[in-house]
Amino acid sequence: MATILVIDDERMLCDLLQEMLRRHGHEVFTAYSGQEGIQAFQRHRPQFTLLDLHLPDMNGIEALTRIREHDPKAVAMILTGAGSDKLERQARDLGVTDFLIKGLSPEVLISAVARALQPPVQPASPESGGGIPRTSHDESILVVDDERQICELLKKYLTNQGFRVHTAQDGPTALAMADLERPQLIVLDIYMPGMTGVEVLRKLRAKKFPGGVMMLTGCEDHALLKEALDLESLDIIGKPFDLERIGLAVEVSLILTKKPGAKAAE
């Protein structure tokens, strides 16, 4: 897979990240200070560096500046418990891929790392016969449901249809993942413990989320259904559902997201 360097003064966090990323097949090295991190970078030349913004001997910006002196194109992501607009601007200027807030779920972290390591998609050449194969869909879909089996079922089905699919099992994780990648479509369960799908949709609208949202529901709470429609959900599908119906609804919803001023499906 990839060689990854984690630079963070919290040893427990370093160990956790190392174990988690190794389980996904990556070779992972750790460092607990800026200076250690710079030396480890020179020694291992990682493909990807996950870097804490606040280190004991220097801040992450200084460490990243030194790393950039050795490799201006090295892929780096900032991990922080608290940042500032100024530091974020400096990091962006140094080519940081993204910012991750400490405390995010492992799924969000692994998903963010996978995206950062993903090679750019090469456009199909005229000699290749024209069309892009179905497995090369540009659209990404986020499936949000507290039932793991439903997440896995929809991920398998939609992946087989050629979409890039991520999953989340609660509202806060879904919101964090939507901030990280901005999926073209979110398939969102209405009724989830802790934060309902309608609450998630309300927060997405407040953040001016540009993608489409399609709702799933196993309940008949008319107030929630009405609010989902008022918040311009593109479709509402009842559980249990038919996978072909889901596939068709996804295709239609993606078309609607590309039309300016599209309204909620009736």
197-206 and 171-181 helices, crossing angle to 10°: 30
For residue range 162-200, what is the model confidence (pLDDT) as tens digits?
888 999 999 999 999 998 888 999 999 998 988 999 999
Task: Tell me the C-alpha distance between 44 and 67, whole Å.
Answer: 12
Task: Tell me the C-alpha distance between 115 and 92, whole Å.
Answer: 17
Task: Tell me the C-alpha distance between 181 and 107, whole Å.
Answer: 13
Q: What is the largest CA-CA distance in the chain?
A: 61
- What pLDDT, on the 0 to 100 scale, is given for residue 99? 67
- What pLDDT, on the 0 to 100 scale, is given for residue 77? 84
Q: Tell me: pLDDT of 207 over 80.
A: yes
Please, what sign has the CA dihedral across residues 148, 225, 194, 204?
positive
- What pLDDT, on the 0 to 100 scale, is given for residue 144? 95
Kindly report, as residue ranges, where domains of CATH 3.40.50.2300 are found in the chain: 3-117, 134-257
**pTM to 2 decimal places:** 0.50
In the three-class reduction of DSSP (H, G, I as helix; E, B as strand; rest coil), residue 157 is classed as: helix
Domain 134-257 in CATH: superfamily? Response regulator (3.40.50.2300)
- What pLDDT, on the 0 to 100 scale, is given for residue 137? 53
Residue 159 CB contacts under 8 Å (≥ 6 apart), including other chains: 165
- What pLDDT, on the 0 to 100 scale, is given for residue 105? 60
Looking at the structure, give the CATH architecture of the domain made up of residues 3-117.
Answer: 3-Layer(aba) Sandwich (3.40)
Determine contact, residues 264/234, Cβ cutoff 8 Å.
yes
Q: Tell me: pLDDT of 132 over 60.
A: no
- What is the band of 259 on the pLDDT scale with cuts at 50, 70, 90? low
Average pLDDT taken over every residue of the chain: 80
